[in-house]
Amino acid sequence: MNGAEPKRVVVVPCSGIGKAFGSVAREAGYDLCEDLRPDTTQLVALSKLVMGEEQARQRVQLWPAITIDGCKLGCAAKLVRHSGGTVAREIAVLDIYRQHKELKPEGIAELNEEGRKLARAIAEDIAVSVDELCGRDASKGGE
């Protein structure tokens, strides 16, 4: 990374297709990268790492990664490491759900309202880590 390039964090969400917690992981990744921290995050699809896509591999090798896994298998974290990347933080949707039992996610193609709220709570939690990794003041919303 050259000095002019801004520091970024790669976000690699689970691709647990057909599982509500996998959908929560993906939704949290979208919330974080598209809404909360678009200037300091880069979403990398897990499938691109699985396929060995060179650009995805380069991104996880260049910047620290935050993984969001929907189950205990931890596929996102394992694939980032396998691709030569560094996992700065591993998020397990189930762990966050245990703290927010009132937000039971349902649905696969489209999450229910509680699932979307759980995803947002996860994204907001991760945003603080992104700010820390990028050397920004989290109290200012990443600015």
CATH class (in words) of the domain with range 9-137: alpha beta
Token pair recorded at residue 53: 């896509």
Q: What is the pLDDT of residue 143?
A: 47
The predicted-structure confidence for 18-42, as pLDDT tens digits, reads as follows: 899 999 999 999 999 999 999 999 9
Q: Is the dihedral of CA 81, 88, 25, 45 positive or negative?
A: negative
The predicted-structure confidence for 87-117, as pLDDT tens digits, reads as follows: 999 999 999 999 999 999 998 788 999 999 9
3-state secondary structure 35-78: HHCCCCEEECCHHHHHCCCHHHHHHHHHCCEEEEECCCCCHHHH
Token pair recorded at residue 41: 């995050």
Distance CA 49, CA 79 (A): 7
The predicted-structure confidence for 43-80, as pLDDT tens digits, reads as follows: 999 999 999 999 999 999 999 999 999 998 999 999 99
